[in-house]
Amino acid sequence: MSGGDSQLWEVFVRPRRGLSHVHVGSLHAPDAQVALHHARDVYTRRQEGVSIWVVPAAAISASSPDEKDAFFDPAADKVYRHPTFYHVPEGAGHL
Amino acid sequence: MKSEVSTADLVEYLLRLGDDALVTAQRLGEWSARAPEMETDIALSNIALDQLGAARLLLTYAGEIEGAGRDEDALAYLRADHEFRNAQLVELADEQPELGHDFGVAIAKLLCLSAYQQPLYQRLCSSTDERIAGIAAKAVKESAYHLDFATLWTVRLGDGTGASRDRMAGAFAVVWPYTYELFETDDLVARVAAAGVGVDPSTLREHWSEVVGGVLAMATLDVPETSWRPTGGRTGRHTEAMSYLLAEMQVLHRAHPGAAW
């Protein structure tokens, strides 16, 4: 039980119906079922969620910090992509 | 109160339920900062808090109907070992001979206990005593999770490496003789069961054997065999481990009565 067989899992919790799963942190577990249990115990102790996803951290392909400029900067001066001319209806909280 | 059972019977029955939960909480609490992994540490502490929550409700109720002015603290901290009514199973130290402190024993005890508490609370949800039914309705969901958690680890350790399998088998060998006491029946449970207030634990045995047997099979472990069936917890006869447990649990309150933080 040294934890040597554990792998890293990323945890996503959906706070309530209608919202998306949001990354809340990571944990160690030997398999998916244990990871789900651990996630329940570590991240939803205070009724934070109605649904949990756990994903092996190794299965996540992430954009590289080195490519940040090439990836994101070109969007910086394209204000026409922002729908600023719409009126957001009242009551639509999560656009 | 609608029940037809005597006050003394009801208090006694509530102490059995409440002391099982209280002593379990104290034992599990010993794993704080000592569990194999941080995640397991939090899980065991969560389960301990579930048990403590049920214990507080049950002991508070016992104190109220007893009418002698004892609250949950008085019942938890100021009774001596022979006044506790928990089964001996829950007071056992989480230790194996020659191994010392052992996670496997904690898991084996939790499996055996939660496979008993879960159907017990399920049945108590329809107790004619509304207060007991309410407490059971809260506790039954927690018990289902405890059973799930203990099942998960029993299977992984039993059907794991050679070393983990040996330890898990050893843990069940330690725990098994003490499981029989959970299902013992006596005049008291017969009376509270007849009034629809409580449950005769002997009626839970068959279901328990199926559930625990199924988990052991999944874990590739044999059902232990034993002819030694220690008993006495329900009448206040406890193992040596109980006195040490109470000493640690009660020392602060006895030294500083009413201490709070």
* A44 vs B: CB within 8 A: no
pLDDT tens digits, B125-153: 999 999 999 999 999 999 999 999 999 99
Kindly list the distances between the CA atom of residue B100 and the CA atoms of B104, B159, B186, in Å, as whole numbers in the listed order. Answer: 11, 22, 35
Question: Could you say which of B46, B152, B164 has the minimum Cβ distance to residue A34?
Answer: B152
* Contact state of A37 with B46 under an 8 Å Cβ cutoff: no
The token pair that represents A74 in the structure block: 């070109």
Which chain B residue shows the shortest CA-CA distance from A34?
Answer: B152
**Is B7-223+231-255 assigned to CATH 1.20.1260.10?**
yes
Fold for A7-81, please state it: Ubiquitin-like (UB roll) (3.10.20)
pLDDT value for B43: 94
pLDDT value for A24: 96
pLDDT tens digits, B199-249: 999 999 999 999 999 999 999 999 999 999 999 999 999 999 999 999 999
pLDDT value for A95: 62
**A27 interaction partners in chain B (CB closer than 8 Å):** 39
Chosen for mutation from B28, B32, B40 (greatest number of chain A CBs closer than 10 Å) is B40
SS3 B240: helix
pLDDT value for B72: 96
SS3 A72: helix
Question: Could you say which of A2, A27, A33 has the minimum Cβ distance to residue B39?
Answer: A27
Question: Could you say which of A29, A33, A45 has the minimum Cβ distance to residue B39?
Answer: A29
Residue A7 DSSP code:
E
The token pair that represents A53 in the structure block: 């996803």
Amino acid at B75: L
The sign one gets for the Cα dihedral B101, B107, B112, B118 is: positive
Other CB atoms closer than 10 Å to residue B15's CB: what's the count? 24
Residue B114 clears pLDDT 80, i.e. is over it:
yes
pLDDT value for B1: 45
Q: List chain A domain ranges.
A: 7-81
Q: Which residues pair with A51 in a beta bridge?
A: A14
Residue B221 DSSP code:
-
Distance from CA of A3 to the nearest CA of B (A): 7
Tell me the pTM: 0.89
* Contact state of A38 with B148 under an 8 Å Cβ cutoff: no
- Band (A1; pLDDT cuts 50, 70, 90): very low
pLDDT value for B247: 97
- Band (A6; pLDDT cuts 50, 70, 90): confident
Question: Could you say which of A2, A38, A45 has the minimum Cβ distance to residue B39?
Answer: A38
CA distance B146 to B82: 28
The token pair that represents A22 in the structure block: 């949001």
CB B135 within 8 A of CB B198: no
Nearest to B85 by CA among B191, B176, B182: B182
The arithmetic mean of pLDDT across residues B172-199, rounded, is 97
Distance from CA of A4 to the nearest CA of B (A): 11
Q: List chain B domain ranges.
A: 7-223+231-255
* A27 vs B: CB within 8 A: yes
pLDDT value for A87: 79
pLDDT tens digits, B7-50: 999 999 999 999 999 999 999 999 999 998 899 999 999 999 99
